[in-house]
């Protein structure tokens, strides 16, 4: 990713970064490429498809799903370092309430997340047409993520109860193998 694919992406107009999440036990990887606008993302679609194929070949896997997200919230307490890990939670809510749910994440969930020991950053990505969102909370280390698991789960459950019609779909933990996003703070 670093040596070949990132270099090719750097030459794509409107590209602003990439991240790679890895679950080494299951082999699941999530590659996220970010663009400065939806138009830039659309213009890069052919190149992105080619690079996804190359990544799948190098990883010895297949591309299972391609999703498009809007970055609703991005907050970094500090930059991540080697060993950082991410807990990602997928939810589904009413698409008509997307702006309200983004604001809730910013004003209610994020301040509590920042108080977790080892907190590094948090983001909320949303698909406005489906109402599906994914929050990712990055911790400085696997130990910090594990140490906060019970507290973070209780916090997530309490916040989801406060939101009308938002249901959890999935939650996974990953190693943050690559973090090279030049996306500005969105808080």
**How do residues 14-52 score in pLDDT, each as one tens digit?**
999 899 999 999 989 999 999 999 999 999 999 888 888
Residues 112, 118: Cα–Cα separation, whole Å: 13
Reply yes or no on whether the pLDDT at 1 is more than 80. no
10 Å Cβ neighbour count for 100?
13
Residues 148, 96: Cα–Cα separation, whole Å: 32
What residue segments make up the domains of the chain, in order of their start?
Answer: 5-59, 70-173
Q: What pTM was estimated for this model as a whole?
A: 0.92
How far apart, in whole angstroms, are the C-alpha atoms of residue 88 and residue 101? 17
Question: Is the domain covering 70-173 a CATH 3.40.50.720 domain?
Answer: no
């Amino acid at each position: 990713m670093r040596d070949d694919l990132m270099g090719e992406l750097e030459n794509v107009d409107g590209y602003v970064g990439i991240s790679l999440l890895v679950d080494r036990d299951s082999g699941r990887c999530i590659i996220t490429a970010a663009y400065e606008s939806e138009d830039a993302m659309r213009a890069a679609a052919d190149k992105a498809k080619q690079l996804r194929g190359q990544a799948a070949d190098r990883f010895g896997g297949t591309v299972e799903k391609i999703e498009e997200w809007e970055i609703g919230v991005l907050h970094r307490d500090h930059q991540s370092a080697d060993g950082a890990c991410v807990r990602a939670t997928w939810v589904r809510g009413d698409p008509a309430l997307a702006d309200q749910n983004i604001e809730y994440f910013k004003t209610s969930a994020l301040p509590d997340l920042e108080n977790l020991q080892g907190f590094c950053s948090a983001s909320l990505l949303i698909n406005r047409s489906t109402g599906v969102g994914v929050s990712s909370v990055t911790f400085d280390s696997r130990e910090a993520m594990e140490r906060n698991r019970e507290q973070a789960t209780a916090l997530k459950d309490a916040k989801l109860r406060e939101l009308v019609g938002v249901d959890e779909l999935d939650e996974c933990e990953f190693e943050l193998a690559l973090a090279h996003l030049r996306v500005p703070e969105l808080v």
